[in-house]
Amino acid sequence: MTAPLPPSSANSERPSLAEVALVFLKLGTTAFGGPAAHIAMMADEFVQRRKWLTEAEFLDRLGAANLIPGPSSTEMAIFIGHAKRGWRGLVVAGCCFIIPAAILVSLIAAAYVRYGALPQVGRMLYLIKPVVIAIILQAFWKLTRTAIKSVLLAAIAVGAALLNLLGVNILLVLALAGIAAVAVWLLTQRGKTALASVFAAPPKLLAVLGAAGTLAVPFSLPRLFLTFVKIGSVLFGGGYVLLAFVQSDFVNRLHWLTERQLLDAVAVGQFTPGPLFTTATFIGYLVAGIPGAVVATAGIFVPGFIFVAISGPLIPAIRRSPGAGAALDGIVAGSLALMGVVAWQLGRASITDWTAVIVALVSLAILLRFRVNSAWLIGGAGLLGLLTRV
């Protein structure tokens, strides 16, 4: 097993495994809104409140999570667990973040199979979404003040946002952000010495496993597991990219799902807390009940655990190399730009009238002025939505 990262300078005391488990169970139960909101809640929980990580350490791990395949917010949970409690923390943090959502999605899938429709939660989500936007904006503001340390990094962030809005692949955007930062750093150094220090840095991990076979085969649990392992191993870009992979494999190639079932599966992943990749749990339940849900969940998330375990020890070494550190600064700036684009896109879709505007602004003011746990705001908004006809 890999050695744990050095203790965070923010708080050298190691939390117990029970404490790690409880805090990630709480996040897995309350983290609505997708990866950007999850990361925002983690920044509030572990940087501002518990001080398990400094902002710089949090951003380094965010950059690394964006460089490897799989669900970035789940990988952030795994990174944080690994940083504080080594490989045991890695397993506990990741599992506790995933399990609450997987259980909830399985229950919804059971209702879906029985009644043929999703539970109606429109009023609750109507008020939760503006709160989620406020949470993302608060985290974006705080992290940007730490990460954007120069005009160069600001320019890289703006360029990354524009490329993302133009439809450029997310991985390519992050790679270009890192390359731009290194190129400018090289121009400030002296020739070959600087170039050698870049190539002496540990290589970036961009692991891609071989694709599963392309021939349609009858259903089996091993095939279900391997298909989701393949998807989890090569998927960059989060939940919306997952839609394309699942459609290709489960609708077009294997014919295990219909188009309607696929869209319903993605909808469940959107309105339940925890990782969006629990869409796989829903699909697994539809095709094979509880065993299918367990196998599909394991398949989609196992690659993330492996990638974090391999790449985690490289982060301090990358930071010790000036050239590689410059690349990581650029990648972090690009990652925050992508987070800003997500906030804008989600806000445009979610804040559609004056009631939503007021909820978002009041939530943002509370978050910026008071150290309120964002889970309370989400819970309060959901309850208000259920009790009122908004």
Radius of gyration of the chain measured on its C-alpha atoms: 21
pLDDT, position 353: 87
Q: How many residues does the chain have?
A: 390
Most confident of 135-149, 180-194, 271-285, 354-368: 354-368
pLDDT, position 158: 92
- Let me know if residue 3 belongs to a domain: no
Angle 287-288-294 (CA atoms, 0-180°, nearest 5)? 115
Q: Is the full-model pTM beyond 0.75?
A: no
Kindly state the percentage of the chain with pLDDT values over 90: 24
Compute the Cα dihedral for 297, 350, 38, 49 and give only its sign: negative
Torsion (CA) 259, 299, 231, 236 in degrees, nearest 10 = 110
- Let me know if residue 13 belongs to a domain: yes
Q: What does the pLDDT average to over 268-292?
A: 85
198: pLDDT strictly greater than 50: no
pLDDT tier for residue 272 given thresholds of 50, 70 and 90: confident
Of 79, 83, 61, 77, the residue nearest 25 (C-alpha): 77
241: pLDDT strictly greater than 70: no
pLDDT, position 118: 54
Report the mean per-residue pLDDT for the chain. 79
Tens-place pLDDT, residues 298-345: 999 999 999 888 877 776 666 667 777 788 788 878 878 877 887 787
DSSP H/E element including 93: helix 72-115
Q: What does the pLDDT average to over 26-55?
A: 86
- Let me know if residue 177 belongs to a domain: yes
pLDDT tier for residue 20 given thresholds of 50, 70 and 90: very high
- Let me know if residue 335 belongs to a domain: yes
pLDDT, position 90: 94
pLDDT, position 294: 95
The answer to whether 54 and 8 are in contact (CB under 8 A) is: yes
The string of DSSP letters for 338-357 reads HHHHHHHHHHHHH--SHHHH
- Let me know if residue 2 belongs to a domain: no
192: pLDDT strictly greater than 70: no
- Let me know if residue 74 belongs to a domain: yes
pLDDT, position 205: 35
Question: Who wins on pLDDT, 270 or 141?
Answer: 141
pLDDT, position 390: 55
Q: What does the pLDDT average to over 163-170?
A: 81
Provide the domain limits for residue 188. 8-390
Torsion (CA) 135, 139, 140, 143 in degrees, nearest 10 = 180
pLDDT, position 274: 79
Instruction: Check residue 251 and report its DSSP letter.
Output: I
- Let me know if residue 56 belongs to a domain: yes
Q: CA–CA separation, 210 vs 215, rounded Å?
A: 15
pLDDT, position 201: 41
Question: Who wins on pLDDT, 292 or 134?
Answer: 292
- Let me know if residue 241 belongs to a domain: yes
Total domains in the fold of the chain: 1
Q: What does the pLDDT average to over 153-170?
A: 87
Instruction: Check residue 52 and report its DSSP letter.
Output: S
Of 124, 135, 163, 122, the residue nearest 379 (C-alpha): 124
255: pLDDT strictly greater than 80: yes
